[in-house]
Amino acid sequence: MNTRCIFFAEGDCEAQLLSALKLYPGWILPGKVRVFNVVQDLIPKSQLLTLQDGMTVVFLFDTDTEQTERLLQNIQRVRKYCRVRLLTVAQVLNLEDELVRCTDVREARELTQSKSPRNFKSDFCRMRPEDCLAMLSRHHLELQKLWVKEPPAAYEFIRQDGKAVKQKQ
C-alpha cells in the first residue's frame, strides 16, 4: 500500500503544529501539509484528482462552529472521486483548547508568552518549526492527549481519527 500522506490543515497555526510534530520521527504520519479549511470551503475537483490511489488524506479542523455542511460535502467528494484512506481529526473546540489539554499551561498564550489571546496565533505561526517543537517540549507536551476528545454533536458523522495520525502512542 502507498504510504504517502497529505494533511489538509484548517489554518497556518495547524500547519505550524504539524510541521513541528513531524520533526520528531515517529510522532505523526510523515507527509505534506496544505492549508485548506475543509469546514468552510469545498475542495476543488481539480485538487482531488491530484490525490493518488492509496494515499492517506487527513482533514484537520476545529469544531467551534456548528456549520458542517461543507465538511460533509468534502468527505463525500473524497470518497466519490478518490481511492484513498481518509482520516478526520477534530480539534475540540480549536487549536488553543487542544494545546491547553496536552501541555502544562492554563491558556494557550502562555506557550508563546503572548501579551493577549489575540496575539497568540500570530506569535505561534511566526515561530520556526524547531522552536515550536522546543516550546511544546518545555511545556511537557503529552502527545497521547492531543486530538482524542470526542467532537460536539454537530460532528457526529465523523470519526475522531487523532490516534491514527499519531505513530507514537
Confidence (pLDDT) at 1? 41
Confidence (pLDDT) at 3? 58
Distance CA 21, CA 23 (A): 5
pLDDT along the chain (169 residues), means of 10: 82 97 93 97 94 96 97 97 97 97 97 93 96 97 96 97 84
Distance CA 131, CA 112 (A): 10
Distance CA 149, CA 97 (A): 11
Set of cell numbers at residue 29: 504520519
Confidence (pLDDT) at 39? 98
Distance CA 37, CA 70 (A): 9
Residue type, 157: F
Confidence (pTM) = 0.94
Contacts of residue 64, Cβ cutoff 8 Å, sequence gap at least 6: 93, 94
Confidence (pLDDT) at 168? 59
Distance of alpha carbon 54 from the chain centroid: 20
67: left (phi over 0), alpha (psi -120 to 50) or beta: beta
